[in-house]
Amino acid sequence: MTDIATLMNTAPVIPVIVIDEVADAVPLAQALVAGGLPVLEVTMRTPAALEAIAEMKQVPGAIVGAGTVTNEHELDQAMEAGSSFIVSPGLTEPLGRAAIDRNVPFLPGVASAGDVMRGLDLGLTHFKFFPAMAAGGLPALKALAAPFGLCRFCPTGGIGPDNAAEWLAFESVLCVGGSWVAPRGTPDKPAIEDLARQAAALAR
């Protein structure tokens, strides 16, 4: 199984996807992959999420994971649906241990030094910085990353085409998460492919 560092280095942007209708899942995944963004995070915020993950897994080239996973039960549901990785908004020891026990690539959310230290205690070094803008933006992440030289981050929350490049220029950032490349609703495949292509071209 691919590790989380490899996934974070696959493309500069991980689309954060909210699926309301399962029928939208495959066309959206096809457009994103065609545009150069193969790592897809489907948030567990809607009843359609688990079925959408299973459908998107069938798209050639797609690496599909579950986001907004908050406990062990949701982790197991996501893995049963075929998730290749797990993203959480925060980090608890039970969830961290469950992900490690199941040997699944895991990207937990952190917003403080205490969060990072809890992750390091579990053997984790790659984190989602969330909510990125609300937690203080790039200056906050630079301050947070300074004592933790081994750690690498995927900032998510408030990041879009206007500021993604600035985040990606910081050496501790491997990729960013964003919903701008996958607007909610019925997918406009040509438009989404174009957004994905622009995002995939962002320098790191």
- Which positions are catalytic? 41, 128
Evaluate the omega torsion of the peptide bond into residue 161 and state whether it is cis, within 30 degrees of 0: no
- CA end-to-end distance (rounded Å), the chain: 24
**113 closest CA partner among 136, 87, 133:** 136
And the tokens for 149?
A: 């030289």
Rounded distance, CA 131 to CA 133, Å?
6
Instruction: Put residue 51 in one of left, alpha, beta given phi > 0 → left and psi -120 to 50 → alpha.
Output: alpha
| Rounded (10°) angle between helices 113-121 and 93-101 | 40
Q: What is the DSSP string of 122-170?
A: TT--EEEETTTTTTTHHHHHHHHHTT-TT-EEEEBSS--TTTHHHHHTS
